[in-house]
Chain A
Amino acid sequence: MTARVAVFKFASCDGCQLSVLDAEDELLAILGTIDIVEFPEARTLREPGPYDIGFVEGSVTTPHDAARIKEIREQCKVLVTIGACATSGGIQALRNMADVGIYASQVYAHPEYLDTLATSTAIADHVKVDLALYGCPVSKEQLVETITAVVAGRRPDLPSHPVCVECKARGTVCVLVANGTPCLGPVVRAGCGAICPSYARGCYGCFGPCSTPNVASLAGAWDGAGVPRSTLIRALKGFTVGAPEFQEAVRAL
């Protein structure tokens, strides 16, 4: 029996849906075990639920979306959020610490036509989420692993420890220790495979906070590397600015 899979879009850039399409090599094999029946980025035909697996991209930014996610939840046996927007509100959650009215008036000629919420929030703030894939965009490997695991009925291999673990496993030399390059890796969730440090740059946190992030301690290391606190605050206010752990850290810094 093939699993009925749906992909839904909320406030987002569609990059995570593109990651699904980017898994072309694996996609052919996957298509033998699943049937993608709803996928706005890839096909126009839409089929009604219920669905075995529902992937949700994007954050909730309108009253309409807040209602729609509840309906989708009811239609999905397993609900998986994909990407920084769905898991923490995305870059658009910058509005959570500002006045959305001012933002809207700067961007739109007629902001009065907009019907938007004051905040951009994660899907888990609205409904129960079964599995979460982090990242901006999500990792293709984690996506394939998740579909494969759910179909096989096993627990997907999705770590919540820091990027440093993956960095050391692959044998990358620590850019923070060896070069004083500011890196968010010690407080950021693994899953990307520690890509940035392997290109001699610091992790900028697109996977959001790891399970027990200690930003206050990392701040000391960034101080030691001669980085102004304002740079750390900006780094934390990136793609996962809406993550409560990073918001609290920003407030405390």
Chain B
Amino acid sequence: MTKNVVVIGGGASGIEASRRLRDLGYSPVLVEKEDHLGGHLASWNRLFPQMIPAKDILKSLTSDMKGIEVFLNTEVISINRLKDSYVVKFSNGLSAQVKAILITTGFTLFPAQKKQEYGYGIYDRVITNADLEAWFNGNKDKRVTDPQVIGFVHCVGSRDEKAGNRQCSKVCCATAVKQAIEIKEKFPDAVVYCFYMDLRMFGRGYEDMYLKAQKDYGIRFLRGRVSEVSEDINGRLVVKADDTLLGKPVKISMDLLVLMSGMIAPESNMELSKMLKVLPGEDGFFSPANAISNPTLSNRDGVFFAGAATGPKTMPETLSEGRAAALEIDSYLKRVGD
């Protein structure tokens, strides 16, 4: 069992790292608490900015899992240090003794109902980014019925001290613009608004996607944070914001409002960080010892990170970190002798 590495979290980063470790001659144990692999990738429909189907990426990621021990519906219950290795006990009754542990626990979506003023779970026509991806994937949703006016609310539970999350979730601006284009394709006559504070179109091709949304799809970008949402007598939504560029408060009646829930750290990170004695940051995400020179290294020997476990990331960034972590673990194990 000495050539084992435990990888905690079976999302894109965990799968990619496990495959690379396997290719390097190790026998990774991949632990996933849900009943399927893929993490959030398994819930998305198409990925920005190239609009590549998420299921294609997931399929190619999971096509060859030979040599990887996958434990589904499983969590880590304890981790103990034994000289230069770790003894990891799993909820399925098994355990492993390893010299390297990789944390790929990713993120969870901010629970939109916590922002009560936006009415998620209260009004019939308010959904989240994840609900809309599910709808694009063919799931029926009564809340999406022939909308004439549609709004996207950026920064839901992000950049919000009162929601307990100061951080920007990085990917939801691009997701909002992507989804605005996609919903306009489904309902060409609808008027679509994006309520943003700053549009974070940082990646290659993102600005082009924004331009396309304006020029080819007529998406209306309104700079102002939505302050509250209510319902009128006919069940239509009334959305209030300050049009900060016009300098006037506006009220818009809508048939569908999509909340861009942000990325927050999974609650179970606290438990894990206690077991591993690695400190999470103030935001709950794990903190690399040096986030610039090597984001996959923790402050503890033999503990590594990859993907959104250390903060919001895009899919290509997540995958690259999975590969980087595999290489880093390989060098480490060669150094300490596996």
Question: Are A and B co-members of a single complex?
Answer: no
Footprint of A on B, CB under 8 Å?
none
Footprint of B on A, CB under 8 Å?
none
